[in-house]
Amino acid sequence: MVSPDTEFAPVGDRTKIKYRDDFNKYKKILIQGKNSKSIRALFDWYNTALLDNHGKDAQPHDDGSDDDGNEIQDALDHLDGSDDEEPASGDHSGSE
């Protein structure tokens, strides 16, 4: 981990980054969009990058932007309006 925090805790002791909150937001995006082509492609990429030593494009590409803006909500909005979702039979992911 590249961070001045001395341990991986729910909130960073030096940076005050809310790691647990961030994790839960990312997890929500992945769960809600689990049937979308983009999320399936993301998992395919990670499976190749982490589990396949022969992957040709195993490095993420940084666009150079440090501005996170409202990316989580934008991603959820994009997934909600996506035409590429395939509903799974018996899928109750919207109910908690």
Quick: pLDDT tens for 7-31.
889 999 999 999 999 999 999 999 9
Q: Which residues contact 58 (CB under 8 A, 6 or more apart)?
A: 48, 49, 52
pTM check: above 0.85: no
pLDDT-based confidence at residue 69 (cuts at 50, 70, 90) = low
Q: Which residues contact 88 (CB under 8 A, 6 or more apart)?
A: 35
pLDDT above 90 covers a percentage of the chain that reads: 34
